[in-house]
Amino acid sequence: MQLAGALAGGTTEPRVFQRGIMESLKTDARNLAPVGVFTALAWESAAVRSVLKRVTKVEEHVWRGFAGDQEFRVITGGIGLRRTRQTVERFATTPFSAVLSVGCAGALIPGLTTGQLILAPDIRLQPTKEDDRLELLSVDATLLARTRAAADRSQISVAHGPLFTSPKVLFTPEEKASQGLRTGAIAVEMESGVHAAFASERGLPFLVLRVILDGVDMTIPAVAGLTTPEGDVRPLRAALYVATHPHHLPALLAIRRAREAATQTISRLCRELFSQLNS
């Protein structure tokens, strides 16, 4: 999650996922391990859970639900590489059948609009702020094709191109444009590369579903403490901040509208895609 929160330096060979999820899902659904769906923010998790049936809370930030007979485990880990790594480590021994990274992203190039789905064939992960190398991680081709078909049927606008997993928030249009040129990616977030590495290490099919929240020309207010790590607003702090920084109110309202559009796209896409994974 870029909002909320280099090839020139050298790259590694992409990790390629050898198994497709549909091959895994051809077995008896009752014997399947759950699909792990990782999100950074609570509202992203809620968008996913809204299309599932028989949803129950397993523990804090972890939910269980079903699409037909297929179980999904929806896990919210908070923003950024450190929190995401801590989250996936908790599930190192959980027997997933596939791993999905779902949430929002920021545009790195002009022309991408709020609510637009990014269909990324790979992710470029910068492992730390100090290390500008990029590790390339591939997305399962079968899952990507299924997602493209689901988006078409749901009439969701899509853009095709790589994602950049950044170790820091890109606040300004200049930062976003610069990183777009450096990485060759079209959008940025802060978790998917960790999810992809987690799946790759376990030989699991991986898919990233990211929806544009902030355009490349939007400046993100550099504020801290207004939300929890999972993106829930702290009302008193937010009210005090707006009262003392009224010039940031238009940007904050724009972000709220963008979040509503992104929520709708995530829910529409997951409803269509999850029904396929159960077929």
Convert 99-132 to b/e letters by CB count within 10 Å (16 or more is b): bbbbbbbbbbbeebebbbbbbbebbbbbbeeeeb
| The pLDDT of residue 9 | 38
| The pLDDT of residue 24 | 47
| The pLDDT of residue 112 | 98
Taken in order of first residue, the domains within the chain and their CATH numbers are: 7-277 (3.40.50.1580)
E-strand spans in 130-256? 135-138, 158-160, 163-165, 187-189, 206-214
pLDDT along the chain (279 residues), means of 10: 42 42 44 90 96 97 96 96 97 96 98 97 96 95 97 97 96 96 98 98 97 92 61 63 67 79 97 85
| The pLDDT of residue 258 | 85
Cα-based distances in Å from 264 to 85, 116, 164, 187, 260: 28, 11, 23, 19, 6
| The pLDDT of residue 230 | 54
Count, residues in the chain:
279
192 neighbors 90 (Cβ within 8 angstroms): no
| The pLDDT of residue 219 | 84
Q: Is 194 helix (H, G, I), strand (E, B) or coil?
A: helix
Convert 53-70 to b/e letters by CB count within 10 Å (16 or more is b): eeeeeeeebbbbbbbeeb
| The pLDDT of residue 19 | 42
| The pLDDT of residue 29 | 41
> Structure pTM?
0.84
